Amino acid sequence: MVLVIVIVIAVVVLALVIGAYNGLIRRRNQIENAWSQIDVQLKRRLDLIPNLVETVKGYAAHERETLEGVINARNAAIAAPDTPDGQAGANNMLTGALGKLFALGEAYPDLKANQNFLQLQEELTATEGRVAYSRQFYNDSVLDYNNKLEQFPTVFFAKAMKFDRREYFQAEEAARTVPSIEF
């Protein structure tokens, strides 16, 4: 009788460990998938920028500093480490540079009316929306995974099986501050 109880307890513990392990694997794979979606959207964004810069060059050639800023920010984003922190920092810098470039459209009415510029601007805006959605999905996946690491009974063996917390894809402090506007 005691042997049966011990076997039942061992089977229950084994089932809990297997279930928790499989749950962690599923969540870790979901994070990897979510990260690859962010990566796809960021690469799409990087691929659109040279065409946008070339279009603006024809209308605002003397805006060299702004164009070089966009090119430098793009190159930094390409060279950034493939981690949430590395990509977030580089892409925040790129977003700021693109904002300055789009502001040129307001200063140059001919550029603002150019169909190629408008199409590229629309594609980049749509890509920004997809990046935001992908970032949200990634962060939700990281939250689910990190929560699972701290839940019972997973918390007892997750570190032993080398499951570590994941970092969120966050904006830098400079990107979070609200600019002051004075009249």
Report the 10 Å Cβ neighbour count for 66. 17
pTM (two decimals): 0.77
Question: Within a domain: residue 180?
Answer: no
Q: Which domain holds residue 131?
A: 31-162
- CATH code, domain carrying 86: 1.20.1440.20
List the structure tokens of 138: 């990634």
Question: Within a domain: residue 19?
Answer: no
Question: Within a domain: residue 157?
Answer: yes
Question: Within a domain: residue 71?
Answer: yes
Return d(Cα 179, Cα 81) in angstroms, integer. Answer: 28
* pLDDT at residue number 64: 79
Q: In three state form, how does the secondary structure of the chain look?
A: CHHHHHHHHHHHHHHHHHHHHHHHHHHHHHHHHHHHHHHHHHHHHHHHHHHHHHHHHHHCCCCHHHHHHHHHHHHHHHHCCCCHHHHHHHHHHHHHHHHHHHHHHHHCHHHHHCHHHHHHHHHHHHHHHHHHHHHHHHHHHHHHHHHHHHCCCHHHCCCCCCCCCCCCCCCCHHHHCCCCCCC
Return d(Cα 85, Cα 109) in angstroms, integer. Answer: 38
* In the predicted structure, residue 175 carries a pLDDT above the cut 60: no
Mean pLDDT of 15-31: 94
Percent of the chain whose pLDDT exceeds 90: 49
Q: Could you read off the pLDDT of 117-165 as tens digits, one per residue?
A: 888 889 988 999 999 999 999 999 999 999 999 998 888 888 888 899 9
Task: Count how many domains the chain has.
Answer: 1
